[in-house]
Structure 1
Amino acid sequence: MSSLNSLIFMYNVFSKSAFLVGMLSMSLTACKKDEIKVTSEFGAAPTLAASTANAGVLAKANADNTAVTYTWTPYTIKTSDDSKVASTVTYTLQFAKAGTNFASVKEVDGGAVAASSLAIKTSKLNSLLLSLGLPVAQSGQVDVRLKTFVAGNQPTLYSSTTKLTATPYDECSAPNADTWGLVGPAGDGWPGATATDRELKWDCNANAYVLRTTLNAGDFKFRKDKDWGVNLGALTKPLTPGAAPTPLKPNGEDMTITTPGTYTVKLTVVGSGTGVTAATLTVTP
């Protein structure tokens, strides 16, 4: 090969090598410029708030009403490129007797992901209070906090503690605050200077007001809260009730016990106060 041809060959090889190096350099530069770094920012524990700090005296008549509502801001996971984060977040309300540092808790499911509130019915709150050992018919206090669990390696988060005061009722109490008494000569006579109502006790198993007592031969009726404003009697007169359910009505007729003896009196009442819509009676030896 002549010297001239050798020079031309070397020039071509050099030119191509330089071109490839330049392209590679540009490619690497472009990759650096186009690189995207995605970062995640995990939120703080949600803050818990309550609609009230004192639910007052709970009553079975309000069992289906909301006693307290808890709200919180949903837990967030943010990314620098606004992409979605596949992570399950669940919320749980924890109840504990006040001052016990949540040594023993009762939990209520608060939902997941976007959940931000939970309304607790009177019946549910009452059961929680009783299960934590709060005494019936006495004002007591519990500590409440929100537990937030984030799937993955994130630690379980807890909100600050809120306090709730309430007075639970005996779950085996009458559905209403009404009391019912038997009055008339079959019992202790018609109410007057000395005669008193023979009160029937609420029986949870029978779901009725029940009285086991000695009855005289004579007439009788039932009245609410030792007052004639609401009373129950037979649909017609004369009537001697027995083991078959006997329908009663407000301001009904006197009923009669024909044979003195010891009887179980069972009164089933639908409704409360002047809103009594139905009632039945059985009287068995």
Structure 2
Amino acid sequence: MKLIHYIGIALLVLVAFQSCKKDETQARLHPTESVKAAALTLDKNNLTLSKATANDTVLLLNLVQPDFGYQAAVTNVIQFGRKGDNFKTVKEVVIPNGHSAIGFTGYELNSYLLALGVPTGEASDFDIRLKSSINAKIAPVFSTISGLKASPYASTSYLYAIGAYEDWVEANAESLISPTSNGIYSGIIYFPEGKLTFKLTPERNWSNSYGETEPGKIVYNGGQDIKAPRTGNLELEVNTTANTIIFKDHSWGVIGSATPKGWDADTDMKYDNANQVWKLTVNLTAGAIKFRKNHEWGTNFGGANGNLVAGGADIAVANAGTYDIILDLNANTYTLTKK
């Protein structure tokens, strides 16, 4: 009986010991205990960026991995913010797994800094830190902040929409333009019936891309195909800082007694993305035409002799025939060329 009694006591002690060990392990999972943030260092703290060094590595960041108190896959993200803004507006760049250093070309760094809304041609101060996380349940940890003074330069950057509307041919992808590389891109694309899906890429290839996580939300190198909300001409506005995409109605058409639908409805034009003009080949009769935006009279152009006038007089068409029409809203001109 004594032997059984001693064995029982031993088992209780063992269970209690194992329970304590388990509690110790759980305690180490707590985000406020035994967590050591990553360390981040920059190889320089003052830069003047230029187009001449756009393809050179201009900034190198080195990091020491964080320690969460146990083995886990860590996601590290570089955060760029304006000095003193406390990262309210932030540009994030994911560091590939296993890397202890990351270099940025002049073009890349220039784009990231301009995304924060700073002026070009003059020095601005930035804060840079590393955000480390393992999952949504554990709070991320941040490195100490490193300072950078840099002068971005004015530049134009592009995104490309590879998709069903152009049969997924990379070379034929239409472009979205950011005139100042501030992370906000816009462009107009025509989506035919049943061909609404696409992805956005920094180059006309699949090395990197933006997909959709939900309507209006995009993610870098992830997500599903983005889907336009309807057929027709749509203006896309993409913000790669906020990771959003907005679709707006944006179409131009001709209307008038010379057009196939008369004054009752527009004959829609198609946007030439590469040349940023609107085009249409159509049979016209002798009569008159005007140009309208979004099938409404709120924005319309008339004119004469190839010059557009907002709300101006009807444009005369002297002879019936097939015409190539070009509407250039940048130059404020139009052409009617009889074939």
Report TM bin, short chain. 0.3 to 0.5
More strand by proportion, 1 or 2?
2
TM-score normalized by the length of structure 2:
0.39
Larger radius of gyration, structure 1 or 2?
1
